[in-house]
Structure 1
């Protein structure tokens, strides 16, 4: 890292209605630096970076890059100025090929007399993919063919192939497996070694300290401090983020308590072509059953299979009363909830209000003789959102305006309002800050005490160890190990069954 200032943010400000998302933030970033940017959900860090990258207009203040004040109207302007972003959620467009996504907005070199040279574009995109080590992704294939993680890898290529002066990475690691994360870290290091700059947003504080030079902290939209990564601890960062000490009792502290023998759901010989093979297990009343494994192990398909969302599933999912779950309406009617890892695309409707999202599975319960009562729906949504302590203007606010943690609260409010007794939670704390994560763990423990049952699918081994009564480890679409809750159970034991 050299000491040359590359980016200056002066008095940056942004409001969304009555919400002051970014409040007079000023900071400087050096060339050849990886700068961490952290804060609770709703602290303003993503909004700050999205103004820099042209996703949002700047409400007030100025950004200066290499001594020149920026005038950015959109992402193409930002790219042309030398600024690129990899966002937390899906940043590729369906209906386009991999190559078309990589060169979106920059098709000029492949245009001749108004006609696109698709073969040349595919050839160059494939060269880039091979160069990055992502050669298994094919440039001419539709992006929809690839899973969430592979689409993230395409975004990494798209954001970095032009060698931007500033690369913003907004919680991207939450969508990646360990191997994907290692590839991203290599790219971050290469950007720094080339004298360019990375702004790295993550809720994984260990990851932030390990892969940054300095860390800047925002709280409630305001700038708090910038610290040298090698001189602080995770606890120091937590204090700066929330303004007080956060208790260390993240996870459950109970061990040795027996789980009920009562089976609430039985999965038998479930196979999903290319994903799961002959999977069988039981879920008990008041149990938190954890599923873990490496990328592509099949664990994420478990949630969809249980919720009746796998169209090509074989085998059976049966409730204690004998009901077979083969479709989503039956699952909802029989009190099963599902929160997907891909929150923005599968768990919520972004361009709808909090109210309409919360009431969705409960419409039948809230109607009178088939007619919906608006006041009743608003009252219900208010009650559920407030129970989850959702940070919002009101329930008419669009979900798209919320932070990742508050979006997840809306998802949980929806299912808790429905009174769901079996909750399938896939990556329940993905992209969520330390305080909200602690609140969700406390909620899960409370639901367990109420006798509700939870299937928790997680890529985070500490989360599996800390919250599960029982852990099933997946490998190559099969269950490869089963472990009971035990204070002596460690990460190495689980990893040995994953690889």
Structure 2
């Protein structure tokens, strides 16, 4: 097969720190090439160089055998490069058609008047190419995440993209949407589109890719034919060592009841949810998208009002807002770390300090010495990879951002820690660190409520498992009795207990 793309000797430094060191990557016509590595390995930086967002310090980029300079995103776009970002770029109050042709509106000759009829016809053509039955006039904000993603792919096709980068494309999709995406990827291969596929989900990589390239610490480690490698080999390439056990669950002594909820209800979201959680216990919450898991977390944390009773240490607590929850010893690590968990424009130091200002201040003034000690201690304990405490948290890798979110709440010394999708978009090494931290916390008597869409994570780390479906608890299982089959049975509405 001919090389559609060749990147050789790519290096890049920021403020004297080398983040890419002579990296290489090739892509063939009609190939799905997985790009893997831990968060901070350099995957995003390499893709930003390919798409013209960053300029490389040295190296060569060839497209179809011709050396090219990616001087800007427009230059990359003109050369047939398109990226479907993890955070989608749709403008919600514009129609699908307007989003598809934003900045490239079709007009009547040189009049400057938009040819809506032609745009509608063209939009239908690209949408139907992907099997999408969506009206071009539908507002983008009315689409599901999966549909928005498909529209982004249709947009790339309308730009005649030959190189498509898919960054964590399944992170927020349902199982059905993932199946549809994979069918679209197969059809794009048949149209000779080359795809670079970035994901932390090993199962997907083996299902969808032809070759795999691994980066580690900004360096090229190697490329493997997917059918000729194994999960163990890839993990070793990514982390530089073997990981014997992905879910390092330790035995703990389960103590007294920390949290009890009785009859928690919220119109259209939660229906009579009751359970208890003890110190030293990890209670996993499983269920399909839309089951009400995140709504449950937000109700307990006081983000959304609900009826029912919440007990902490056997006392009824009236939680009207998150401040009440924090005072009661409850902390929530939200699933949306960028939108709700962090202030991306602020530094690592400021994000870690935010919920802890009362203990770091006196008479309304922050003690710089106290804050410095507190932040240094947090960074060290959580192994946060940051050049400096004053580095913007938005510039950290996903795994390190997640550690900061967890770290800021741990300093409040919670009795109950709610983790909503704690390892979403996090690499295998950082996952292992988060699991070890969870073990350490339950050993110290913290009660953990863990919500996860990854069944292997729920089965691997939970002492007990609750399953939700359409806002109700439909199953409860002990660690010993839980299987993928009985969890999925309860997740689809069948009552199960074991």
TM-score normalised by structure 2 residue count: 0.91
Deviation at 1:151, TM superposition (A): 4.2
The separation in 2 between residues aligned to 1:110 and 1:363, in whole angstroms, is 59
Provide the aligned length of Structure 1 versus Structure 2: 491
Q: 412, 415, 418: which is aligned to 1:421?
A: 415
Q: 359, 370, 376: which is aligned to 1:365?
A: 359
Alignment of 1:163-182 (within 5 A): 163-182=160-179
The separation in 1 between residues aligned to 2:458 and 2:197, in whole angstroms, is 26
The separation in 1 between residues aligned to 2:136 and 2:308, in whole angstroms, is 33
Residue 259 in structure 1 maps to residue 257 in structure 2? no
The answer to whether the 8 A contact 2:140-2:148 is kept is no
The separation in 2 between residues aligned to 1:95 and 1:373, in whole angstroms, is 45
Deviation at 1:186, TM superposition (A): 1.4
The separation in 2 between residues aligned to 1:78 and 1:203, in whole angstroms, is 26
The separation in 2 between residues aligned to 1:412 and 1:137, in whole angstroms, is 42
Counterpart of 2:495 in structure 1 is none
Range 94-103 or range 295-304, more displaced? 94-103
Counterpart of 1:467 in structure 2 is 461
Residue-by-residue CA offset, 1:30-55 (whole Å, 9 max, x unaligned): 11111111111111012111211233
Counterpart of 1:40 in structure 2 is 38
Range 297-306 or range 457-466, more displaced? 297-306
Deviation at 1:134, TM superposition (A): 4.9
Residue 224 in structure 1 maps to residue 221 in structure 2? yes
Counterpart of 1:14 in structure 2 is 12
Range 72-81 or range 345-354, more displaced? 72-81
Structure 2 unmatched runs, 5+: 493-498
Deviation at 1:418, TM superposition (A): 2.1
Alignment of 1:41-190 (within 5 A): 41-93=39-91, 96-108=94-106, 113-116=111-114, 125=123, 128-129=126-127, 132-135=130-133, 139-141=137-139, 143=141, 145=142, 148=145, 151-190=148-187
Counterpart of 2:483 in structure 1 is 490
The separation in 2 between residues aligned to 1:88 and 1:338, in whole angstroms, is 23
Residue 298 in structure 1 maps to residue 254 in structure 2? no
Seen in structure 2, the aligned counterparts of structure 1 residues 106 and 281 have a Cα distance that, compared at 3 Å, is farther
The answer to whether the 8 A contact 1:42-1:403 is kept is yes
Structure 1 unmatched runs, 5+: none
The separation in 2 between residues aligned to 1:95 and 1:416, in whole angstroms, is 38
The separation in 2 between residues aligned to 1:216 and 1:328, in whole angstroms, is 43
Seen in structure 2, the aligned counterparts of structure 1 residues 370 and 188 have a Cα distance that, compared at 3 Å, is same
The separation in 2 between residues aligned to 1:334 and 1:124, in whole angstroms, is 56
The separation in 2 between residues aligned to 1:302 and 1:104, in whole angstroms, is 38
Q: 239, 244, 249: which is aligned to 1:242?
A: 239
Q: 197, 200, 204: which is aligned to 1:207?
A: 204
Range 357-366 or range 337-346, more displaced? 337-346
Residue 433 in structure 1 maps to residue 427 in structure 2? yes
Deviation at 1:125, TM superposition (A): 4.6
Counterpart of 1:283 in structure 2 is 277
The answer to whether the 8 A contact 1:317-1:326 is kept is no
Residue 319 in structure 1 maps to residue 316 in structure 2? no
Residue 307 in structure 1 maps to residue 301 in structure 2? yes
Seen in structure 2, the aligned counterparts of structure 1 residues 232 and 134 have a Cα distance that, compared at 3 Å, is same
Q: 372, 392, 395: which is aligned to 2:389?
A: 395
SS, match of residue 441 in structure 1? helix
The separation in 2 between residues aligned to 1:96 and 1:342, in whole angstroms, is 24
The separation in 2 between residues aligned to 1:136 and 1:480, in whole angstroms, is 34
Range 170-179 or range 263-272, more displaced? 263-272
Deviation at 1:234, TM superposition (A): 0.2
Residue-by-residue CA offset, 1:428-453 (whole Å, 9 max, x unaligned): 11111111111111111111111111
Q: RMSD value over aligned CA atoms?
A: 2.6
SS, match of residue 188 in structure 2? helix
The answer to whether the 8 A contact 1:37-1:217 is kept is yes
SS, match of residue 466 in structure 2? strand
Residue-by-residue CA offset, 1:258-313 (whole Å, 9 max, x unaligned): 733x3322323333343323322222222211111112222222222221112x53
Seen in structure 2, the aligned counterparts of structure 1 residues 313 and 230 have a Cα distance that, compared at 3 Å, is same
Range 470-479 or range 219-228, more displaced? 470-479
Counterpart of 1:27 in structure 2 is 25
Range 235-244 or range 151-160, more displaced? 151-160
Counterpart of 2:496 in structure 1 is none
Range 337-346 or range 362-371, more displaced? 337-346
Counterpart of 2:337 in structure 1 is 343
Range 102-111 or range 463-472, more displaced? 102-111
Residue-by-residue CA offset, 1:62-89 (whole Å, 9 max, x unaligned): 3221123333344343333211112223
Seen in structure 2, the aligned counterparts of structure 1 residues 91 and 303 have a Cα distance that, compared at 3 Å, is farther
The separation in 2 between residues aligned to 1:419 and 1:274, in whole angstroms, is 33
